[in-house]
Amino acid sequence: MNKKLYQLLLVSLVVFSILWSFSCQGQKQEAPPAAVQKTVLQISEQEVQTLDEAIYKTREFNGRKREYLTIDFSTVSHPAAVTDFQQVFHLPPVKQHRTGTCWCFATTSFLESELKRLGHGEIKLSEMYTVYWQYVEKARRFIQEKGKSALGEGSEANAVTTMMKQYGAVPASAYTGLLPGQTEHDHSKLFAEIRNYLDFCQKNEYWDEEKALAYVQIILNKYLGEPPTTIEVNGQKMTPKEYLDNVLQLPLDDYVCFMSFKYLPFYTKGEYKAPDNWWHSQDYYNVPLDEFYQALVNSLEKGYSLSLGGDVSEPGISGEEGLAIIPTFDILPSLINQDSREFRFYNRTSTDDHAIHAVGLTQHDDRTWFLIKDSGGGAHRGPFKGYEMFRDDFVKLKMLTFMVHKDAVPDLLAKFEAKAK
C-alpha cells in the first residue's frame, strides 16, 4: 500500500469516528428493562408427611398377567369403613360387568337417590333400557353424519336425562337387558356387531336411516332382548313415558352439569371436549377449580349426591384397596391448581374414562374424603364391595365433570345469570 493511500484511509477513519460520536450524543439512551416480578411458591415443611414410592405389581386378569405401576397403600391413612361417612341415601352398589356403560349406572344411581330425596320412594330403575336407546341414537347420529360421529360404548351423565326425556324409563324388574339364563352383562359381542355393521354402511355409503336403525335394533334385541312398550305398575298399564311423567316425576330439566377448563371463559356454558360427549353437548357450566371442588363438598353436606366423571386410570387409585389419592411422585397437593389440571387434560394424562356416584363425605387426618359408589369391577373386588374412598387431592386433579340438582348450587348458577346480563 502506498503512503498517500494509507494517509487517506487514516483521515477517513478519524472523520467517521468524530461524526459517529456527535450522532450518538443526540440519541437518548434507553433505560434497562424492569425486572420481571416472579410468583414465588412456598411449600410448608408440614405439607409432605411421607413420600410415596412408585412400585410395580403384577395382576392377573382373564388368565393374563399384567404389570402395573402403583404405590404402597399401607402407608395411606384413610377412613376405616364406609360407615365413617356422612351419607346421602342411595341404593346398594350393582355391577356393570363387561360393558362400557358406567355413565348410565352412575347417573341412574344418582337419579334413584334423587327420587328418595324428592319423596318419591325407593325405586330401582333399569340401566339397560336407557343403554338400549342410547345405542339407537348413537347409530342415528352416525348415519346422519355419514360416519363422522364418535361411536363407542361410553357416554355422559346428561345422556341419561336426554334419553329419559325421549324414551321414558322403566323399573329394573321390567327390563334387565339379560337373556334367559344370563346373570351378567357382556356387551363385547353386541358392540362389535353394531360397529361392524355401521362400518359396512360407511364403507358402502349406505345412509338409509330408517333401514339402518331397524337393523341396529335387530342386533340389540338379539343381545339385550326387546325393550317393553308398556309396563304394569300397581295393576295399571302405562308406557315408559307415562311411568316417567306420572310415577317418577323426576324434574329432568333441573339437573345441571359442571366442568372446569381454561379453554372456555369461566361462568359461560359450552362443550365438554371429550369423545364420550359424542353429540357435542354444550350444556356444561364452566367454573374455576376452587368453586368446582367446593360445589362438590357443599352439595354432599346439604344432602345432595352427584354423578361424577373423570380419570381413574392412575397409579394412585386401586380398586383392590378401595382408595384413590394423588401420589407425591405425581404432584404435591399444594401444586394442584387450575393449570396442573388443565395440563393433564391437554396432554391426555387425564381422560374421561369412568363415571361414578358420590354419596358421602368425611374428614380424616385433616383431609376430606369422598365416598364413591362404583359399578366397576375393581371396586367390587375391593374391601368395600362396590365402594371406594377418594381423597380430596384425587378429586381436585382427576374428576372432570359432575351433575347435580340445581338447588344444590344456587350461588354458583347466580354468577352465570349475572354475567349474562
CATH code: domain of residue 142 = 3.90.70.10
- The closest alpha carbon to 255, from 102, 56, 73, 118, belongs to 118
Dump the DSSP string for 35-80: PPP-PPP---TTS-SSPPPPEEEEEEETTEEEEEEE--GGG----S
Go through the chain and tell me how many residues it has.
421
Domain contains 232: yes
SS3 149: coil
Report angle CA 288, 289, 293 to the nearest 5 degrees: 125
Domain contains 39: no
Pairing, β 255-259 against β 399-405 = antiparallel
* Contact of 192 with 106, CB cutoff 8 Å: no
Domain contains 325: yes
Neighbour-count burial of 371, counting CB atoms closer than 10 A to its CB (0-12 exposed, 13-18 middle, 19+ buried): buried
* Contact of 382 with 388, CB cutoff 8 Å: yes
- The closest alpha carbon to 129, from 94, 157, 105, 98, belongs to 105
Domain contains 5: no
Domain contains 227: yes
Number of domains in the chain: 1
Domain carrying residue 261: 55-420
Domain contains 350: yes
Instruction: Determine the longest span between alpha carbons in the chain, in angstroms.
Output: 125
Please list the pLDDT of the chain residue by residue as tens digits (421 residues): 554 544 544 445 444 454 444 444 444 455 555 555 666 656 666 555 578 899 999 988 778 888 999 999 998 999 999 999 999 999 999 999 999 999 999 999 999 999 999 999 999 999 999 999 999 999 999 999 999 999 999 999 999 999 999 999 999 999 999 999 999 999 999 999 999 999 999 999 999 999 999 999 999 999 999 999 999 999 999 999 999 999 999 999 999 999 999 999 999 999 999 999 999 999 999 999 999 999 999 999 999 999 999 999 999 999 999 999 999 999 998 899 999 999 999 999 999 999 999 999 999 999 999 999 999 999 999 999 999 999 999 999 999 999 999 999 999 999 999 888 7
Domain contains 126: yes
Domain contains 96: yes
pTM greater than the 0.85 cutoff:
yes
